Amino acid sequence: MSRHVDTPRVTAPDIRARKGGEPIVCLTAYTAPVARLLDPHCDLLLVGDSVGMVLHGLPNTVGVTLDMMIMHGQAVMRGADRALVVVDMPFGSFEASGGQAFVNATRVLKETGAQAIKMEASGPDIGETIKFLVDRGIPVMGHVGLRPQAVNVDGKFRAKGRTREERVKVLAEARAADEAGAFAIVVEGVDETLAPEITAAVKAPTIGIGASAKCDGQILVTDDLLGLFEWTPKFVRRYADLKGVIDKAAAAYAADVRARRFPAAAETYVLGGKPQRRRVAGDGKRG
Ligand code: KIV
């Protein structure tokens, strides 16, 4: 039985229609509970392949698999009712041909229920692959500039747009993604003056990360914004210090356990005798 939802979900054409309008709010999500918390505030939730680094402790995104993306996509779809959910295509799942991209993207959409995919497509074939999918009914979000999946070619995560050659290449890739029908384009890690140039050159809304406030929308990795890491890239603004909160909570719990202060009477069952002082929701089960 399907869940009743009052608010219709944002669609890829809705996002595309926001070009030049109110900024589009996007964040990454990888789990159902976090998606549920972010959903009321966001237009778009990206199940980014950053999940490999953020949740799985990988050194970069190259090792992320299609199965991992599908599992996290399913979780996010269980948590989000309103925002458009976009699932990233991992490295190796789309580069060989339009056919390969189509087979894997349809798997993502069918198995997760998400409505769109994102591809860090690059090079001369970028437009062809995107068009192949769009023509066959798959909304595609492009991704230009710093492409984390290219880390082994670039040598490190490095912002783009230092040289004229680099600027021309990034701009050309954005144009190709646009002409191929991408409904939005992530512009990551580029010179601050290049992002508005791309934004002006394409019909699709640009979603900046480490780019410029002049993009049509912004995205951040949620765990960065929440302050879960010691180190974050320069472009991140921390809106919370969850690392500190978790550290304090874990230290307080450890101290209570060691001093036998936890569990106390209110946190234990007294069965068959006096009535319990506090009902534990769901008889202690989660769900
Ligand atoms: O994988 C990811 O989270 C991304 C965003 C940072 C744009 O691609």
Tens-binned pLDDT, residue by residue, of the chain (287 aa): 455 556 799 999 999 999 999 999 999 999 999 999 999 999 999 999 999 999 999 999 999 999 999 999 999 999 999 999 999 999 999 999 999 999 999 999 999 999 999 999 877 778 999 999 999 999 999 999 998 888 888 888 888 888 999 999 999 999 999 999 999 999 999 999 999 999 999 999 999 999 999 999 999 999 999 999 999 999 999 999 999 999 999 999 999 999 999 999 999 999 986 655 555 554 444 54
pLDDT score recorded for residue 272: 83
Contact 39, 80 (CB under 8 A): yes
CA of 213 to the centre of ligand 1 (A): 17
pLDDT score recorded for residue 159: 85
Which residue from 89, 118, 187, 206 has its CB within 8 A of the most atoms of ligand 1, so it is best to mutate?
Answer: 118
pLDDT score recorded for residue 155: 81
pLDDT score recorded for residue 284: 46
Taking CB atoms and a 6 Å cutoff, what residues make up the pocket around ligand 1? Answer: 28, 46, 48-50, 88, 186, 188, 209, 219, 221
From residue 172, how far is each of 28, 71, 139, 159 by CA, in Å?
26, 34, 20, 17
Q: Report how far residue 188's alpha carbon sits from residue 209's, in angstroms, rounded to the nearest whole number.
A: 5
pLDDT score recorded for residue 228: 96
Residue whose Cα lies nearest atom 3 of ligand 1: it is 48
pLDDT score recorded for residue 287: 43
What is the atom index within ligand 1 of the atom nearest the CA of 186?
7
Residue whose Cα lies nearest atom 5 of ligand 1: it is 48
Q: Which candidate in 95, 165, 179, 188 is catalytic?
A: 188
Told to judge if 111 belongs to the known catalytic residues of this protein, a careful annotator would answer: no
pLDDT score recorded for residue 274: 61
| Domains within the chain, CATH numbers bracketed | 12-240 (3.20.20.60), 243-284 (no CATH)
pLDDT score recorded for residue 161: 82
Q: Report how far residue 208's alpha carbon sits from residue 29's, in angstroms, rounded to the nearest whole number.
A: 17
Prediction pTM value: 0.92
Contact 53, 60 (CB under 8 A): yes
